[in-house]
Structure 1
């Protein structure tokens, strides 16, 4: 058996940031743009205050994930629904966002951002940066926690600058800069932050970066983030967030990927006794439905058999999963597993019609786990199927040479021994029961 200290490889840390950006861009494009804006602005402000690479990087990351919790709202707020008004002196007023019902009292999205990042420990943000994310709407004024105060001030003003820029009230950068110089003095912020922002606004090259809509990889390189690497077993903590973002789109699947990941990991270890294989399967399980971020909710929630045209769209989620993951070359082992979970040994699966000789054993294992978990979950068109009935269906598929008999038999052994495959979801790990129920039941009006 491998040594736990040596069996896990590392991957580029920017994969995590980019994957989050790509998912948000599909469903919440305004959130993706805003997150990158705040990251760029915050880092450029910090660079003027403390030109230390680690602080600049952490500020960029904090800005990038400051609204992470917002992605867990049942709906998000597009920019065109933000009501921007002007006070008598001609300044933006940002207190006219849509009503959050009782969500703001129970599960404010800044709290979800804080809890999620604190739980996963990925990205590697210090306590000061995590607390600054929690307080970025109401920056700390006193000096009892000077670094938290500084960073929360930076995130606050970066947030306001991004909203002002994206409101699109001005036709060119110079007009925006003139307005922003007046705007920032309306807020009671630390003088060192105001001075840094004024200096930033006077630098046309840096302002061009802020107004740029270029791919985030450019900015990962600009702030030297492409040099940072992270162990795959630690990165998997963040992939739990990614899986939760995908599954949370539907109440029928909000625990799907976490259940599959846990069962695939434990079943793999039972068969191979390899901690590395178990880790690969846990990661592959978390990311196997990545492509469903592109699947319309009306298809995910269809209350019966899908028409042919909609079934074709549903099946495309595997293609999108492969396309999204292939960008990250050091995750190639995971791609070959995740993107094959709807293939079958006899070639009758999709999307490629691979046969047994083309399917790695770990891909065959994920196929079995995906079928079993899906059968035992509730769907909009049926109730969940009892375990005994689910195994009858699996046995029939074995008989028809569609799935691996050995894997099915070992899965039966595990379940018959009392193994519980309904894994605790990521959100239930970080939120109280009342907070989770509030999040599941509320929608922004």
Structure 2
């Protein structure tokens, strides 16, 4: 199996934007600089628009092809460390430091591109040395400087207004911060691209016209094998599991369990790895769910449960962006479907739920039942299987899959 790195990075960026949207619902985000409040900003297109601005700056500065590829990936993933920390205000130096350090650490495991980590680490530094880590001037990687400017310009942009009504204000703000947040050279570069109407038209329309970013993006004709893609799945699983105090190691636990069951059932090695990856990614849609709901220590309201149910919808939206993993996307997003068509989000039935999806569903339930949660201790295996057997009697889950899980656990220490 060959999986497009470009489409994988784009899917990751969508997931991160959804995470920021859910996080701002739980916090007030204010940058220290100029007391700008970003709490009402629409983050759905944040990574895409930031990347476009970064690439336009890099293009104007005539950087090399490899630099542009690194800038492209770094811009799309610049907030990869933020999803676990956005509950804190942007005014907090702790937030800035943790956001950057966490993102740098996470991205170290990205296959093929090994120079991204320091770019992410320093993308919040100010040119005059007043940033969180105190780097000054040319000590800051130029790619980090570019992302810093692009990020703030995007945050200043308001999708509720046409671009011509705000371009002058944004340009003036960038000028004012020359030799403070940004270098004079980078400001002048921005002024060159910002004087062209097409730049602002692209900024305005990029949210629903993917080809705008496609046309400027460097060629990333790189394909991952399944083992390389697994490394990225682990990156995303760490972000998912760390988002909520209720789900630490949940995705990794399900992945290991589903892989063990698959081996026990005699599936080929490649399919076992695919099911493992589906387990790692099955809850990626929870990045779109506010922590106030995920971490609620009590019964959810009807409205809150409706929001929770949407996570599997977002899982499929994100994973379907990677066209090369259709089976993985299907299995991952079906883990709450039930054989009697009472599950969600598609109300599939026993005739349309695959064996792989049934396995993942059963492993998800068992893992959740046996995990410690803040409001209860994990159940022992006997009690967990009693609940699973009750669900079989109700026609909800697959009896054969439960048997295979039980037999697998008898043969392995889990």
TM-score band, normalised by shorter chain = 0.7 to 0.9
Deviations 1:357-411 (A, max 9, x none): 3221111111110111011123455321112321233344446654444433443
Q: Distance in 2 between matches of 1:273 and 1:370?
A: 19
8 A Cα contact 1:220 1:226, kept in partner: no
1:334 aligns with 2:346: no
For residues 330-409 of structure 1, what are the structure 2 equivalents within 5 Å?
330-379=324-373, 381-398=375-392, 402-409=396-403
Aligned partner (choices 201, 215, 222) of residue 222 of structure 1: 215
Q: Structure 1 residue 113 and structure 2 residue 107: aligned?
A: no
Q: SS of the residue aligned with 2:4? A: strand
TM-aligned CA deviation for residue 340 of structure 1:
2.1
1:382 alignment partner, SS class: coil
How many residues in Structure 1 have an aligned counterpart in Structure 2?
384
Matched, 1:27 2:22: yes
Pair 220,230 (structure 1): closer, same or farther in 2 beyond 3 Å: farther
- For 2:351 and 2:220, how far apart are their aligned partners in 1? 38
Structure-2 residue corresponding to 1:153 = 145
Cα 1:261–1:153, aligned 2, differ >3 Å: closer, same or farther? same
The TM-score, its normalising length taken from structure 2, stands at 0.77
Q: Does the CA contact (< 8 Å) of 1:11 and 1:232 recur in 2?
A: no
Indicate conservation of the 8 Å contact 2:84/2:242, yes or no.
yes
User: Are residue 48 (structure 1) and residue 60 (structure 2) matched?
Assistant: yes
Aligned to 2:84: 72
**CA 1:318–1:131: 2 relative to 1, 3 Å:** closer
Does the 8 Å CA contact 1:57/1:223 hold for their aligned counterparts?
Answer: no
Q: Does structure 1 residue 136 correspond to structure 2 residue 128?
A: no
Residue 59 of structure 1 is matched in structure 2 by 71
Aligned residues of 1:290 and 1:321 also touching (Cα < 8 A): yes
Relative to structure 1, the CA distance from residue 311 to residue 135 in structure 2 (aligned partners, 3 Å threshold; closer, same or farther) is closer
RMSD: 3.6
TM-superposed deviation, 1:178: 4.4
Residues 354, 200 of structure 1: CA spacing in aligned structure 2 closer, same or farther, 3 A cutoff? closer
Counterpart residue number, 1:87: none
Per the TM alignment, residue 68 of structure 1 is displaced from its structure 2 partner at its CA by 1.8
Alignment of 1:433-444 (within 5 A): none
Q: Which residue of 1 aligns with 2:244?
A: 250
Contact 1:43 1:57 in 2 (8 A): no
- Deviations 1:267-294, CA, capped at 9 Å, x for gaps: 2133234222122212221232334344
Of 282-291 and 176-185, more deviation after overlay is shown by 176-185
- Residues 1:219 and 1:243: Cα distance change in structure 2 (over 3 Å): farther
- The one-character-per-residue Cα deviations of 1:128-170 (angstroms, maximum 9, x if unpaired) are x432322233366687x8xx73323333443454455569999
Shift, 1:254, TM fit: 2.9
Q: What is the match of residue 27 of structure 2?
A: none
How many angstroms apart in 2 are the aligned matches of 1:394 and 1:188?
58
CA distance 1:10–1:63, shift in 2 (3 Å): closer
1:43 Cα deviation from its structure 2 partner:
1.5
| Matching residue within 189, 200, 211 for 2:183 | 189
CA contact (8 A) 1:141 1:189 kept: no
In the TM superposition, what whole-angstrom CA distance separates every residue of 1:84-136 from its partner, at most 9, and x where no partner exists?
xxxxxxxxxxxxx5234x556xx521111111111233xx4342x43232223
Q: Deviations over 1:11-61 (max 9, x none)?
A: 362343244325523425655554434322222121122354432232122
Q: Which runs of 5+ in 2 are unaligned?
A: 24-40, 128-134
Partner Cα separation in structure 2 for residue 254 and residue 305 of structure 1: 20
Rounded to whole Å, the distance in 2 between the matches of 1:401 and 1:229 is 45
Cα separation, 2, equivalents of 1:316 and 1:210: 29
Pick aligned residue for 2:6 from 13, 18, 23: 13
- 5 Å matches for 1:264-279? 264-279=258-273
Partner SS, residue 59 of structure 1: helix
Task: Determine the C-alpha separation between the residues in 2 that align with 1:208 and 1:56.
Answer: 22
Q: Distance in 1 between matches of 2:292 and 2:190?
A: 45
Q: TM-score, normalised by structure 1?
A: 0.72
Distance 1:197 1:126 in 2: 28
Deviations 1:279-313 (A, max 9, x none): 22122212323343444545434445545555455
Q: 2: distance between equivalents of 1:311 and 1:59?
A: 39
Higher RCO, Cα 8 Å, sep 6+: 1
